[in-house]
A and B are shown apart, each in its own frame.
Chain A
Amino acid sequence: MIKTDILIIGAGPTGLFAVFEAGLLQLRCHIIDALPQPGGQLAEIYPKKPIYDIPGFPEVLAGELVDNLMAQIEPFQPGFTLGERAETIEKQEDGTFVVTTSEGTRHQAPVVAIAGGLGSFEPRKPLLKNLEFYEGRGLTYMIRDPEVYRGKEVVIAGGGDSALDWSIFLADIAGGVTLVHRRNEFRGALDSVEKVQVLKDCGKIRLLTPAEVVHLEGKDKLEAVVVRRSAEPSEDIRIETDAFVPLFGLSPKLGPISNWGLEIEKNAIKVDNTLDYQTNIPGIYAIGDVNTYPGKLKLILCGFHEATLMCQSAYQRIYPDKKYVMKYTTVGGIHGFDGSRKEAPKAVIRTID
């Protein structure tokens, strides 16, 4: 059981910044996120896009903002459970909550802050007959352990970074890699596109474009996929394969959180915006894009503010008897849980003769 003060669900900018504000109050945090890396939408959907409305940053790339937030919260040593989706929540007799993930990891905390954005990212599934039947029987949407594919035949579909990156990675491991994409153009990083070009030229990746997987075959498990090329739609190619990995990106779904007994309105969690962004269940807060209240704006800067007020309320909840005075970082500096200290250098006072 992982124990912490504030259990944060969602490692997007709001969840990450909450760690900082909690740290100033000497509260420890642990973050759960369904994605394998921190950053939420910023890392998953648009890491290379510039953002112009972060106060103090005339322009910052989404990926850079995540890196900066990770550096900012480092002294407060947050724990991470990544690549696992928060599934259930149970209130304990002592008033704390136990949150269990899709992989069965259990977390306990007196305060839960849901910073889930638009929800957890689920793979976008192609429209193929019998798709569900082959899931886990040769068909997968996420490669967790590449070693599984050693010496095997693999067909990958998609035209983005993950399709390119996995094709490159598996070219050295798998028995054979076929990459199928609907267009000749790929929209991955230029470097990856060039690598695939090289691997194709030396015969390590079979490239089928513009083409689409139109059919799956196999009795008990996936045995072959049928690929239709736009140029010759009447002559489909049957490829015998051990694995088919469609990589068409991810899309967010509110998911299990919607069954937690929280008041939901318009796919978002209703909170008390006059005070502390608490939900209808005391001790559970919702901050950032995942919440709603009159006048709500889904902006990163609003999430930062909400995270800050949530932490103050969480502190009161955890230490009801303690008096707390908010301290400016310019005055109090930062005292990390790792023993690190940051503070303003003392001004030197000298007399002028």
Chain B
Amino acid sequence: MSDIQITITDRHGEVHRVTAPTDMNMNLMELVKVYELAPEGTIGVCGGIAMCASCQCYVKSGHPLPEKSDEEEAMLSEAFYVETSSRLGCQIHLTKGLDGLEVELAPEGS
């Protein structure tokens, strides 16, 4: 099995522990959509090309994450509710190293 466990706090503060595949080229934004943890149309608006900030989340665990690309950095610089732990979910690919990752979705309209 190549599944991992990820803990996602939704926009209402509810905590969800979900199982995520690592062999389907999936990212964190898509995982949130698969489990419908945020209403359709409020996450992944641009489709996953770092051109909106609807999938912004705060990373709460200390997992080593890939560096932000220039595009992600630029988008986060224009987003709202940004913290130092902010990332765009669509830029975080689900890999085995992320087992146990904990994130919280940023408010809608970020």
Q: Which residues of chain A have a CB within 8 Å of any CB of chain B?
A: 41, 45-46, 49, 118-119, 124-127, 158-160, 181-183, 185, 187, 248-249, 251-252, 254, 266-268
Q: Chain B interface mostly helix, strand, loop or mixed? A: loop
Shortest Cβ distance from B68 into chain A, in angstroms? 12
Closest to B108 in A: A251
> Which of B42, B52, B73 has the most A CB atoms < 10 Å from its CB?
B52
| B74 & A251 in contact (Cβ 8 Å cutoff) | no
Q: Which residue of A49, A118, A160 contacts B49 across the interface (Cβ within 8 Å)?
A: A49
| Interface 9-mer from B14-22, B55-63, B75-83, B85-93 | B75-83
Determine the chain A residues whose CB is within 8 A of the CB of B52 once the complex forms: 45, 249, 251
Cα-based distance from A45 to B70 in the complex (angstroms)? 17
Closest to B41 in A: A267
* Residues of B1-58 whose CB lies within 8 A of A: 39-42, 45-46, 49, 51-52, 54
Closest to A185 in B: B74
Determine if B97 is an interface residue (Cβ-Cβ < 8 Å): no
Q: Which residue of A45, A119, A125, A267 contacts B46 across the interface (Cβ within 8 Å)?
A: A45
Determine the chain A residues whose CB is within 8 A of the CB of B40 once the complex forms: 266-268
Q: A124-B109, A127-B81, A268-B40 are in contact. Are A46 and B74 (CB under 8 A)?
A: no
Q: A124-B109, A267-B40, A268-B40 are in contact. Are A248 and B45 (CB under 8 A)?
A: no
| B81 & A266 in contact (Cβ 8 Å cutoff) | no
Cα-based distance from A118 to B54 in the complex (angstroms)? 13
Determine the chain B residues whose CB is within 8 A of the CB of A126 once the complex forms: 80
Cα-based distance from A155 to B109 in the complex (angstroms)? 23
Q: A124-B109, A127-B81 are in contact. Are A46 and B46 (CB under 8 A)?
A: yes
Sampled A-B contacts (29; CB under 8 Å): A41-B46, A45-B51, A46-B49, A46-B51, A49-B49, A119-B41, A124-B80, A124-B109, A158-B78, A159-B74, A159-B78, A181-B77, A182-B77, A183-B73, A185-B70, A185-B73, A185-B74, A187-B71, A248-B80, A249-B52, A249-B78, A251-B45, A251-B52, A251-B109, A252-B41, A266-B39, A266-B41, A268-B40, A268-B41
Q: A45-B52, A159-B74 are in contact. Are A254 and B41 (CB under 8 A)?
A: yes
Cα-based distance from A202 to B41 in the complex (angstroms)? 44
Q: Which residue of B49, B54, B73, B81 contacts A251 across the interface (Cβ within 8 Å)?
A: B54
Determine the chain B residues whose CB is within 8 A of the CB of A187 once the complex forms: 71, 74
Query: 8 shortest A-B CB distances, which residue pairs?
Result: A267-B41, A266-B40, A187-B74, A183-B77, A182-B77, A267-B40, A45-B51, A127-B80
Determine the chain A residues whose CB is within 8 A of the CB of B77 once the complex forms: 159, 181-183, 185
Determine the chain A residues whose CB is within 8 A of the CB of B73 once the complex forms: 183, 185
Shortest Cβ distance from B27 into chain A, in angstroms? 16
Shortest Cβ distance from B106 into chain A, in angstroms? 12
Cα-based distance from A185 to B41 in the complex (angstroms)? 29
Shortest Cβ distance from B88 into chain A, in angstroms? 14
Closest to A122 in B: B109
| B41 & A248 in contact (Cβ 8 Å cutoff) | no
